[in-house]
Each structure stands twice: as C-alpha cells, then as structure tokens.
Amino acid sequence: MRTFLTLDRSERDESYPEALVEAFLREQTITGDVVLDPFAGFGTTLVVAERMQRRPIGIEFLADRAAHIAGRISSDATLIHGDSRRIDELDLPPVDFVITSPPYMCRNDPQDPLQGYTVDGAGYDAYLDGLTNIFRRLRSVLKPDRRAVVNVSNINRYDGLTTLAWDVARAIAQVMTFEGEVVIGWNDDDHLFNYDHEYCLIFRNA
Ligand SMILES: C[S@@+](CC[C@H](N)C(=O)[O-])C[C@H]1O[C@@H](n2cnc3c(N)ncnc32)[C@H](O)[C@@H]1O
C-alpha cells in the first residue's frame, strides 16, 4: 500500500472520510471478513464495511451516536452501545480487521475522552494508559497476525501543540507491533487541527 494517500474531506466534523475506510478495507480484507470499529462515532466504518460485503461490528459509548449509527446500517450489522474499555467482555466473534479513530485529547483538556467527554478525566497520561489497556484487551478479540489501523492527528491549537499521533503510536505499541504509518493528506484548506495531513497508524497482533 502507498504510504501517502490524498483524500477529499466533504464535511468538517469528527467523521473520517468513507474513502479512507474503503482504501484500507480493499487492501487488508476480503468479502465476509469481520471488521471492528471500537470507537464507532457516526458509523463510517460500519456503513462502508457493509457496502463492501464485510461484516461490521461497532462499539459506541454515547447513546445518541449509537442511535444515529443504527439508522445508517442494516440489521445484519452488529452495533453495541457499550464501552470498549471492556471490549474482551462483549462476546465478540473473532475479528479479521480493526479500523478506527479514537476520541482525541489535547494535553490540558479536563474531560475524559474515553467516557465520551461526559465526566472529568485523570489527565493526558491516564488517557493514553486507557488506550493501551483497550488495545491490550482487543488483542484477545483480533485474530493473531491481523491488523489494527488507527487514524489520528497531531493537534496544533490555541493553547499549544499536542503530539497526539506520536503519543497514541507509543501507547498502542506497548501491546501490539507497530508496523508503520500511512500519511493522509487533505485536499482542502479547512484544516481541523491546523494540519493538512494526519496518520493511519498500522499495528499487527503479533
Ligand atoms: C473520533 S470519534 C470516531 C469517528 C468515526 N471514525 C466516524 O467516522 O464517525 C470517537 C468515538 O469514540 C466514542 N467513544 C469514546 N469512548 C468510548 C468507549 N470507551 N467505548 C466506545 N466508544 C467510545 C466517542 O463517543 C466518539 O463517538
């Protein structure tokens, strides 16, 4: 796969583009594969996976987002309104491929992203530890040697720079093998985090 993809982003929101999911599913999966998104958000992964005859599973913490996703997918897709921090307790079938974008955090943000920003958290390092723990548990759900792709950006905001992509890579690399990154370049001038590019980090369940 190329290590640089240029994509159009149609809307300025928290979704990643369908073209990003499509590119990875085409490259990394075949018809009938089980594709998991542990942070399902608005359901992009599930919608694209279904369209490509994969079997999607999504987990989403927030009830309103889970309801939104339910309206976008068929009854054959699996959507769990639940908590990926206990992903190994959700009775999931063996998964062939994971693609996701985690909830983002800037270094000084008070809320806990891993609880949908609904309560105060214990800080940036605790958030990164939380991600490590989720991917540690995810290893028992993902088939051996299969991959997890994590879409993430660094964030350059009014209150400073958070090297989120580097830090997430290091957090997950504690429990899965980091194989490299694909740089995603945006074809527009409306840059969410003051960058015209972000990353898809690729991990293997070695
Ligand atoms: C960046 S969004 C994902 C966007 C998605 N890629 C899309 O295109 O719609 C991250 C999502 O993770 C959810 N989330 C946060 N903590 C979670 C948890 N512990 N378990 C499951 N979902 C969680 C958030 O509510 C949010 O919707």
Q: What is the pLDDT of residue 11?
A: 56
In ligand 1, the atom with minimum distance to the C-alpha of 38 is: 21
Cα–Cα separations (whole angstroms), residue 125 to 77, 112, 133: 34, 11, 12
Please choose from 7, 42, 61, 137 the residue to mutate so as to test ligand 1's pocket, defined by most ligand atoms within 8 A of CB: 61
Q: Is the CB of 15 under 6 A from ligand 1?
A: yes
Residue bearing tokens 């990353």: 199
Q: What is the pLDDT of residue 48?
A: 97
Least reliable range by pLDDT among 1-10, 60-69, 83-92, 103-112: 1-10
Q: Is the CB of 83 under 6 A from ligand 1?
A: yes
Residue nearest to atom 26 of ligand 1 (CA): 41
In ligand 1, the atom with minimum distance to the C-alpha of 59 is: 21
Q: Domain of 69?
A: 4-204
Determine the distance separating the centroid of ligand 1 and the alpha carbon of 40, expressed in angstroms.
5
DSSP 8-state class, residue 20: H
Q: Is the CB of 41 under 6 A from ligand 1?
A: yes
Amino acid at 197: H
Closest CA to 131 of 90, 68, 194, 85: 85
Name the domain count of the chain.
1
Identify the band that residue 10 occupies on the pLDDT scale cut at 50, 70 and 90. Answer: low
Determine the distance separating the centroid of ligand 1 and the alpha carbon of 55, expressed in angstroms.
19
Please choose from 39, 57, 100, 200 the residue to mutate so as to test ligand 1's pocket, defined by most ligand atoms within 8 A of CB: 39
**pLDDT of 12 above 60:** no
Determine the distance separating the centroid of ligand 1 and the alpha carbon of 26, expressed in angstroms.
23
Per-residue pLDDT tens for 44-56? 999 999 999 999 9
Angle at 63 between CA 62 and CA 65, to 5 degrees: 70
CATH code of the domain in which 29 resides: 3.40.50.150
DSSP 8-state class, residue 103: P
Average pLDDT over residues 8-22: 80
